[in-house]
Amino acid sequence: MSYPFLKGHGTENDFVVLPDPDGTVHGDLSEDRVRALCDRRAGIGGDGVLRAVRRGEGWFMDYRNADGSVSEMCGNGIRVFARYLHEREGEPFPMEVQTRDGTKVLDKQGDDYTADMGSPEVLGETEVTVHGASFPATHVSMGNPHAVVLVDNLAEAGALHEPPEHDDGVFPEGVNVEFVVRRGEHHVAMRVHERGSGETRSCGTGACAVAVVAALADDAPRGTAYRVDVPGGTLSVVWTADDRVLLTGPAVLVAEGLTDL
């Protein structure tokens, strides 16, 4: 049995989109099927899957990591999801998308898409360890868990083939880890090891967590725009006076077809 799919990315954080309006096609989306779809050699390839399910008057983004695990939110994925809904399902902007982290509002200006990611939670200091070296980190929740590590050089983290070690008491469900350097005023660059997907070219929720930590360290006024460079491009993050984090960046659809995976 073949099913429609699309392939897209946001700053090269890439996804398989599975249209499933009435929830019957992929209602049984198993971890094995997600892994098969995301496999870069035997499948379509992706850092995750975005299943599009109608819910009430709107749409639910059922996000899965490449290893089949579920996450609450995906900041790059939700922009790709919004573009898919606009171009293929006729949804107008601004639009609401339901996620496991509540309803998010998305808008479009030119080629850029902005997601209102809601309020960040800064939950204290912790530590992560890579290749035997420990780094102080700030625990930030953007609906999903992040550990933000400020470093002098992005190479300090070395190869990120394995998940950084973390405190299971702080992150019982695992954690996304961002390594960040300063590039200039309100300008940072990051690498990320994503829970469930490994090192990726970008992470939208990670960029938000990083901008929040940088803004706190800088004592920057709310509303300051941070440029966050990722290996796959550039994102912009604004933490507003009313405690919303606005994530802006591209969303690209590159292919569509049928799969029997």
Ligand X SMILES: N[C@@H](CCC[C@H](N)C(=O)O)C(=O)O
- Which residues does the annotation mark as catalytic? 74, 203
What letter does residue 261 receive in the DSSP assignment? Answer: -
**What is the rounded CA–CA span in Å between residue 134 and residue 71?**
26
Contact between 248 and ligand X (CB under 6 A)? no
Contact between 201 and ligand X (CB under 6 A)? no
What is the nearest approach in angstroms of ligand X to the Cβ of residue 199?
11
Residue 161: CB atoms within 10 A of its CB come to: 8
What is the nearest approach in angstroms of ligand X to the Cβ of residue 194?
4
- In terms of C-beta density within 10 A (0-12 exposed, 13-18 middle, 19 or more buried), how is residue 30 classed? exposed
Q: Kindly identify the residues of this chain, within the stretch 129-148, that bind ligand X according to CB under 6 A.
A: 144
**What is the rounded CA–CA span in Å between residue 147 and residue 195?**
11
Contact between 117 and ligand X (CB under 6 A)? no
Could you tell me if 224 and 93 are in contact, meaning their C-beta atoms sit under 8 angstroms apart? no
Contact between 126 and ligand X (CB under 6 A)? no
What is the nearest approach in angstroms of ligand X to the Cβ of residue 255?
19
Q: Kindly identify the residues of this chain, within the stretch 5-34, that bind ligand X according to CB under 6 A.
A: 13
Spatial CA neighbour of 77 closest among 144, 14, 159: 14
**Contact with ligand X (CB under 6 A) among 95, 97, 203, 235:** 203
> Interacting stretch for ligand X, rule CB under 6 A, among 30-38, 96-104, 150-158, 190-198?
190-198
Nearer to ligand X, 8 or 204 (CB): 204
**Contact with ligand X (CB under 6 A) among 71, 99, 114, 248:** 71
Helices (H), ranges, 66-224: 75-89, 204-218
> Interacting stretch for ligand X, rule CB under 6 A, among 51-59, 126-134, 202-210, 234-242?
202-210
β-strands 252-259, 102-109 pairing: unpaired
**Contacts by residues 134-138 (CB-CB < 8 Å, ≥ 24 positions apart):** 135/179, 137/177, 138/213
**Contact with ligand X (CB under 6 A) among 44, 51, 60, 76:** 76
- Would you call the peptide bond into 94 cis, given omega within 30 degrees of 0 as the criterion? yes
What is the x/- site pattern for ligand X, positions 145-184, by CB under 6 A? -------------------------------x--------
Q: What residues are designated binding site for substrate?
A: 13, 65, 75-76, 144, 176, 194-195, 204-205
